[in-house]
Amino acid sequence: MKFLPHVRWFSNMTLMTNSNPAVTLTDPERKKTGRKPYFLVSESRNPYDNLAMERVLTENVSPGSPVLFLWQNEDTVVIGRNQDARAECRTDRMAAAGVRLMRRFSGGGAVWHDLGNINFSFCCSDDDYNVHRQTETVLSACRALGINAVQTGRNDLEAEGCKFSGNAYYQVPGAHCQHGTLLVSCCMEKLGEYLTVSPEKLKKHAVASVRSRVINLSSINPSVTIPKVCGALHKAFESEYGTAETCFPADMDRVKAWADLLRSEEWIFGRKIPAAQTLRGNFPWGHVTLHLAVNKGIITDAQMTTDMLDSETPEKFISKLRGTACLPATIAAAARAAGGKEFAAGIEQLVQQIR
């Protein structure tokens, strides 16, 4: 067992270093209760290492000890758990420029990361997980910086009518993670250069391009910087959850295993199937493309790409499709068994395209 090194962003702006190991929680009373929040900041700028650390924090969080983990990545496009990498971003252009591509564990859409934004992760046990409380903590930090921030839609934070943060969610046994990115001084040119957005999605949001939907916090208040945002988040988190510890026991072998998976091409690009039917639709819960491989009227394989926030329903749905008849009624029944009413209603509409 190893430990996240000690972090102090707010006195002399030093970050975590492996040469400054953390001290375990040996105080008798603290060890006895073990119920304190944790505020952690990563020194790494590698997206795979950071997301792997987030995963391990989520897997190991204890009831009564929520974690707020802050991290930054160098130039990276991050796609949702069930998205099509090649459809969401310009992979050839990214490879030529040395831009990384990463698939996260949560659902939702593609986002751009550079050193002009800061990413936050709330890692909480089932008992402590409260999306409203966590989101209000972020909004409180923004308001303390003079930003009139509000929550809009299914997962966005906005100011002056433009999005500056998107949130996504996933769960592991006994715990949940809510994570998002805050645009502070992000390079908007790169945002538009590497991300692609379907015409249907732009039409839905009544905008002409992906860049026109977003805004940097520094454009609203030029005094806002990454360190100030981190400081405001620290203060808001402790105001809501209490004085936080700044070190956390983490199994670095487990972190490395997750990082290796995250950087693998199989995870990033997924697999392709020889689809006999391809169905596409746009619904309130997300955009979807459903590929069906069919032999003698039976679905032998299936693949679904979507930006829906629920990261688990697509996998459940696909597992129920394999080996069933390629009929609208059968596919709709699988959708009802896998997801909620809204998901099933969308799939029922989608399968009307079957020829």
What is the percent of the chain with per-residue pLDDT over 90, rounded to a whole number? 74
- Higher local confidence (pLDDT), 69 or 33: 69
Arithmetic mean of pLDDT, 179-193: 92
pLDDT tens for residues 121-160?
Answer: 999 999 999 999 999 999 999 999 999 999 998 789 999 9
Per DSSP, which regions of the chain are E strands? 2-3, 38-41, 67-71, 76-79, 100-103, 111-113, 117-125, 150-152, 156-159, 162-172, 175-183, 249-250, 277-283, 286-295, 298-306
Residues 249, 201 share a domain: yes
- Higher local confidence (pLDDT), 89 or 19: 89
Q: Domain range holding 303?
A: 273-353
- Predicted confidence at residue 9, as pLDDT, reads 30
- CA-based nearest residue to 54, from 172, 227, 183, 228: 172
Residue 259: its H or E element:
helix 252-262
Please, which pLDDT band fits residue 120 given cuts at 50, 70 and 90?
very high
Residues 281, 135 share a domain: no
Residues 162, 179 share a domain: yes
CATH number for the domain spanning 245: value is 3.30.930.10
Residues 195, 336 share a domain: no
Residues 230, 179 share a domain: yes
Domain boundary among 242, 268, 294: 268
DSSP state of 335: H
Residues 294, 201 share a domain: no
Domain boundary among 213, 240, 268: 268
pLDDT surpasses 80 at 29: no
Residues 200, 88 share a domain: yes
pLDDT tens for residues 199-249?
Answer: 555 455 444 345 557 899 999 999 999 999 999 999 999 999 999 999 888
Please, which pLDDT band fits residue 346 given cuts at 50, 70 and 90?
very high
- Predicted confidence at residue 206, as pLDDT, reads 41
pLDDT surpasses 50 at 315: yes
pLDDT surpasses 90 at 20: no
Between CA 71 and CA 252 the distance in angstroms is 17
117, 71 contact by CB (below 8 A): no
6, 23 contact by CB (below 8 A): yes
- Predicted confidence at residue 21, as pLDDT, reads 28
Residues 302, 231 share a domain: no
CATH number for the domain spanning 279: value is 3.30.390.50
**pTM for this prediction:** 0.84
pLDDT surpasses 70 at 198: no
Residues 54, 26 share a domain: yes
pLDDT surpasses 70 at 45: yes
pLDDT surpasses 50 at 31: no
Residues 278, 264 share a domain: no
pLDDT surpasses 60 at 4: no
Our count of domains for the chain comes to 2
Please, which pLDDT band fits residue 44 given cuts at 50, 70 and 90?
very high
- By three-state DSSP, how is residue 150 classified? strand
Domain boundary among 234, 268, 302: 268
Cα(first)–Cα(last) distance of the chain, in Å?
56
